[in-house]
Structure 1
């Protein structure tokens, strides 16, 4: 298991330090966020002056949006990813790979024996390990698991007193694949949700955990009080209740993802993913990242188990044109090498 701290997208400061320029000069496609974020409503000033209180409307809006009977709001799903390994004695943990690196790394840090498995093979671990972890759809591959398969694995894990942890950070674009609604019914099924990607509100640092009541109580006690500021609850409630915006956003993201896939395909580049990003395994991925960076475009690079790149969606037509030109010049340079 890799013991190096995972590297994440959204690290534009690192690109600027190496390649220069100001943040305004750059197109940051490294974090795979909705480039047309939810319009943040005005926040009542009183919310900045008091300790955050549990808001029943906020919880009800989240439960309705995610289809869950019960949810625990957390300060970004990352907070749950870091805390959950502390709720179990060290055991055997199987993680789908390639995937979001924090999962395996955090469990290994707390003494669990972590093994990594290809997406096609991860289901065979169900019922044989203490914790099974996957992202659906996966980040960065875009691999999607059928909900029926995930629920079958959850039952196999439950039969041995184990957990199935499903990270659905990108599931808003394919809600039919979500198993969030089952999390309170199947023992040991834990689902992580986040409004950061789909709503483009990563700065809220908000996430939700769906699971049986006993697990949610343990996690709540581990994380402590006042985790979600009142202003965040106010903004998130508006976003979660805005069905018209959500419908339009899904259509817009699907169209943008199709355009990005076509752009990559035209340059003979891999274009797997979901409706928030595209890319794939590519031997010269590091060279592609460097080339784009010289054009002040920042993409996400992965090195394990093989080189891979991931591009988020451009925000406007000038950004599309810059990306198209940069990709074309890379292919021209690569062809003449």
Structure 2
């Protein structure tokens, strides 16, 4: 990761920046198809929120916390203002815990993945190691930290529960940490989550409400870890960090099992449909004549097209009013899952691309 003059990482580019992109390409906002995020196009319906919740300072919502414990299957959980807040605090938590200089500790991160993890550890002075495949005990040093995004964003690669459990045992023997970002785990069946193991002091699991429930705007998520770490993270938090309306909505969403089952079924069906459309457009020959440098992968919340002309395609699509995520490596485009109406627009735009 390149540094700025002050040694910090440069600002990272994320999806969801439609205002900026629309201005750059001089196309009115209402004319865009925005598939730039991995957020569900179908959101949990916002319930009527009691007026006093808007008026009061945020209060700890025990009913929401109970719903979260039931939904995630763990007692070791704390609400946060989105995963990003925890990602930013973990380096300081580790340094407060261990009497070692940051630059003597190796943090292993996926070569391709959500870069805010790397930025947080890099800016805190830790030694960054990137992996294509999970590091083994032979290369891991004492106090090592391994960050796993499971499933990976944007590749969709899924690590099996048993593989990560073995890695956790290794890191425990080294007095290190395993941090698993499970922001997209809700669409994985059967689940490969490690959240039920967070009584282990060497494990942290991050979960998101924004992705599966389609509620990124309310900025709420959860961290699961040993109670001693939960307490320390809460001490690092600001007062009233998670707003009251967000907690109320999340409580209802986590309790609604019928909606959750229907949501998962809808997202899987929509993602299969999207993958078929991308394959039809970019992999039209169902035999070995397909270009091996073009691949499609992902999960129930996004599909990623690896393509040698990814940058050119991104610019072309933007000129058509189609906004997708150009991945950090500039070799892939991540498509969010379109709903039924968006799918029709996307199919038309991709047909125009195929005939141009």
TM-score scaled by structure 2? Answer: 0.89
**For residue 116 of structure 1, what is the aligned residue in structure 2?**
130
Residues 200-279 of structure 1 aligned to structure 2 (within 5 Å):
200-269=214-283, 270-279=295-304
Query: Are the aligned partners of 1:30 and 1:299 in contact in 2 as well (CA < 8 Å)?
Result: yes
Select 1:167's aligned residue among 164, 181, 194: 181
CA distance in structure 1 between the partners assigned to 2:247 and 2:176 by the alignment: 32
State yes or no: 1:280 paired with 2:305. yes
Q: Deviations over 1:2-57 (max 9, x none)?
A: 43322111111121011123322211100111111110101111111111111111
**Residue matched to 1:302:** 327
- Secondary structure in structure 1 of the residue aligned to 2:311: helix
Cα offset, 1:126, TM superposition: 7.4
Name the TM-score, length of structure 1 as normaliser: 0.94
Hey, what does 1:178 align to over in structure 2?
A: 193
Partner of 2:338: 314
Over aligned residue pairs, what C-alpha RMSD do you find?
1.6
CA distance in 2, matches of 1:172, 1:123: 27
1:225, distance to aligned residue in structure 2 (A): 2.2
Residue 123 of structure 1 deviates from its aligned partner by: 4.6
Q: Is the 8 A contact 1:72 1:210 kept in 2?
A: yes
| Larger displacement relative to structure 2 (242-251 or 224-233) | 224-233
Report the Cα offset of residue 223 of structure 1: 1.2
- CA–CA distance in structure 2, aligned partners of residues 245 and 271 of structure 1: 29
Kept in 2, the 8 Å contact 1:96–1:122? The answer is no
Instruction: Answer with 248-257 or 211-220: which moved more.
Output: 211-220
1:92-112 deviation digits (Å, cap 9, x = unpaired): 101012000100111100111
Deviations 1:109-165 (A, max 9, x none): 0111111111x2445577435210010000000000001111111111111111100
Equivalent residue, structure 1, for 2:168: 154
Match in the other structure for 1:62: 68
Q: Give the total of aligned pairs.
A: 329
- What SS does the aligned partner of 1:177 have? coil
Give the 3 Å change call, closer, same or farther, for CA 34–226 of structure 1 in structure 2. Answer: same
Q: Deviations over 1:169-206 (max 9, x none)?
A: 000001511111111x2221000001100000001100
* Aligned counterparts of 1:122 and 1:331: Cα–Cα separation in 2: 41
Is the CA contact (8 Å cut-off) linking 2:302 and 2:336 kept in structure 1?
yes
The residue that corresponds to 2:10 in the other structure is 4
CA distance in 2, matches of 1:121, 1:37: 34
Q: Is the 8 A contact 1:126 1:132 kept in 2?
A: no
Q: CA deviation at 1:72?
A: 1.1
Post-superposition CA distance 1:218-277 (Å, at most 9, x none)? 111111321111111110000000000000011000100100000010012532000011
1:91-130 aligned at under 5 Å gives the runs: 91-118=105-132, 120-123=133-136, 127-128=140-141, 130=144
**Inter-partner Cα distance in structure 2 for 1:13 and 1:271:** 28
1:196 — aligned with what?
210
- Spell out, residue by residue over 1:305-330, the C-alpha distance to the aligned partner (whole angstroms, 9 max, x if none): x511100111233x212211222332
Distance in 2 between the 1:113 and 1:70 partners?
29
The equivalent residue for 2:150 is 136
| Aligned mates of 2:317, 2:81 — CA distance in 1 | 33
The more displaced of 120-129 and 238-247 is: 120-129
